[in-house]
Chains A and B, each alone.
Chain A
Amino acid sequence: MQVETGIVQEHFDIGSGYRRLTLSAPTVCPQVKPGQFIHLRVPGLGESLLRRPFSIYRAEAGAISVLYKQVGKGTRELAFLPVGGYADFIGPLGNGFPLPHPENCIPVLVAGGYGVAPLSLLARNMDLKGIVFVGGRTAEDLLCLEDFKEMGWALEVTTEDGSAGLKGRVTDALDAWLSKGQKAIVYACGPDGMLEAIDKRLLQHELPGWLSLDKHMGCGVGACLACVQRVHTEDGGTRWKRCCCDGPIFAAGEIDWEFGKDAS
């Protein structure tokens, strides 16, 4: 984990309000594992704004790329960062997906929205090819499909409005595949609701898997305790884990999805 100041090498629209930002990162880049993130200081927003966490989409040639959508104050301001400008970040952070992937089972990737970014990096770091399920509300939410085609992965696309691929949720397509009963490990990244639905299926099919959570973070390094997630413990109880440094990748069956849901 280090603080590094990067020079913006690329920063462009990739469609539908999503953007790709590439920063030089000679120190951090070689340390990156798929599933890790950087905690980026958005320039121009004054000193009191927190950093923003972004999953790492590419880490190559001494640079790091992230994908983001303009959804709030931080990302709207970030969009103005010019090529040649500077931004500093802390990274690489988080535990990352466990690698290598075991030889004897099929890698299955499940992405919701921009959750596809770390999974694309994961696929590039795997020797095996598997299948990837990418889901979104509409065709505009589908990113990085070409990445997987180029790598020779099987691709299943779903949209909730039917504007691309199968109409429905990404878990509908996943269900059809899982029912074949093949030996697999699932890697998923997307909104909590999607991850919870996948987690239930993995339990049902007795398959191993890894879930990458997207949470609001404060410090990003485990000090502020803002991004805690309740998990099951071996003795049958539950406890907090910090999403930033104990996660953001959690094992299938580890998360206690019910904790705190009542009385809200």
Chain B
Amino acid sequence: MNTSPDMSIEIAGIPMRNPVMVASGTFGYGVEYADMVDIGSLGAVVVKGICMEPCDGNLPPRMAEVPSGLVNAIGLQGPGVKGFVENYMPFLRQHKTPVIVNIWGRTIEEYANVAAAFDVVEGIAGLELNISCPNVKEGGVSFGTDLRMAAKVISAVRRSTKLPLIPKLSPNVAGIGAFARMAEDEGADAISLINTLPALVIDVETRRPVLRNGVGGLSGAGIHHFAVKQVWDASRVVSIPVIGMGGIYEPDDALRFLLAGASAVAVGTANFTEPRTAMRVIAGMEDYVQRHEYGSIRDVVGMLQYGQVKP
């Protein structure tokens, strides 16, 4: 069989040539990796988080390497809506790959304003909503871990844009299913998960946190199987597509998300070490579809045979 398998998929109304994206914050604005990665081969590019105005982020050190991955507290440094559109959209528009913009805000109003601002920008396929930000109006508690606040954010953004809307769920909650259902109820077109897990890296010699911010978010290999479980839990209670992410380094890691019910995946932390991970993952998934004689990659979604452990 020499014909390439059908890898195409539609997520939140966005047609993609394959289900492999690059995760927000791990691929810059695309241009940083253009020398090494064929942007045109990706399912979609999810750019680093953007809020209304330029944001300085946290003081360094911002990243700590741990045996199972990375802990980061970059602090959402970014160019703001205007800076992003002027400096990065001309490059991103050159490719036929859908551009999904990850957006965030410090208040519900800011979330809505950022969404509305992107609604009129040419070349944007959809918005991913980072709800794991501190709510400055209500004492700095993350929007993403409070069901009522998260619903307010998603609802406000939904009313502010016609673009496909993909809330990115925080794993730092008691039941991911309730958040997934809420997102669908509030008008989300898809959901993505998981965001990083809260972590604290301690330098025992100085007795201080390694990161200047103190705590950070854990990503990479260590969170993979946890993320697969979260995706499995979420995908069974919603009818909108789920985008799975967390510790994808190999094709099998991506396939696990699909089997657990995700319709697409995003490669994140692995990009830092191996910029071409997504391309290798796509090739491996194509091979899988052929070896197992599936009609298309879409037929793999949700095919987990739970409870049927082979002897």
Contact = CB atoms under 8 A, between A and B. Distances in A.
Interface of A: 1-3, 41, 46-51, 90, 216, 218-219, 221-228, 239-240, 245, 260, 264
Interface string B265-293: 00001111111100000000000000000
B60 A48 contact: no
Contact of B26 (A48, A49, A224, A264): A224
Contacts of B269: 48
A46 B269 CA distance: 14
A243 B221 CA distance: 26
B273 A51 contact: yes
B241 interface: no
Contact of A221 (B32, B57, B74): B32
Contacts of A223: 26-28, 32-33, 48, 271-272
Interface string B13-47: 00000000000011110001101100000000000
B109 to A, nearest CB: 26
A260 B272 contact: no
Contact of B32 (A47, A50, A222, A226): A222
21 contacts: A3-B276, A41-B274, A47-B250, A48-B67, A48-B70, A49-B65, A49-B273, A51-B273, A216-B61, A218-B63, A219-B28, A219-B32, A221-B28, A221-B33, A223-B28, A224-B25, A224-B272, A228-B60, A228-B62, A260-B59, A260-B212
B56 A240 contact: yes
Contacts, number: 92
A2 B62 CA distance: 26
B60 A226 contact: yes
Contacts of A226: 60-63, 72, 74
B69 interface: yes
Q: Is the interface of B mostly helix, strand, loop or mixed?
A: loop
Contacts of B26: 223-224
A225 B57 contact: yes
A50 B72 CA distance: 13
Contact of A224 (B63, B67, B276): B63
A3 B250 CA distance: 18
B220 A48 contact: yes
Residue in B48, B72, B275 with the greatest tally of chain A CB atoms within 10 Å: B275
A260 B60 CA distance: 8
Interface in B102-158: none
B249 interface: yes
Given A48-B70, A226-B61, 5 more contacts: A48-B269, A219-B28, A221-B33, A240-B57, A245-B32
Contacts of B63: 216, 218, 224, 226
Contacts of A227: 60
A191 to B, nearest CB: 16
A260 B276 CA distance: 35
Contacts of B87: none
A218 B70 contact: yes
Interface in B182-226: 212, 220-222
B36 A3 contact: yes
Residue among B56, B74, B273 having the largest count of chain A Cβ atoms under 10 Å = B273
A50 B77 CA distance: 21
A50 B70 contact: yes
Contacts of B60: 226-228, 260
B8 interface: no
Nearest to B276: A3
B35 A2 contact: yes
Interface centre among A221, A222, A264 (most CB of B within 10 A): A221
Contact of A50 (B25, B35, B68, B272): B272
A1 to B, nearest CB: 4
Contacts of B272: 50-51, 218-219, 223-224
A5 to B, nearest CB: 12
A223 B177 CA distance: 32
A225 B32 contact: no
Contacts of B220: 48
Given A47-B249, A49-B65, A219-B272, A224 B74 contact: yes
B74 A50 contact: no
What are the 9 A-B residue pairs with the smallest beta carbon separation, nearest first?
A223-B28, A226-B63, A223-B32, A260-B59, A219-B272, A48-B221, A1-B35, A222-B32, A47-B249
A2 B35 CA distance: 7
A264 B61 CA distance: 11
B59 A222 contact: no
B275 A228 contact: no
B221 A1 contact: no
A81 B250 CA distance: 24
Contact of A225 (B67, B70, B77, B270): B77
A209 to B, nearest CB: 23
A227 to B, nearest CB: 8
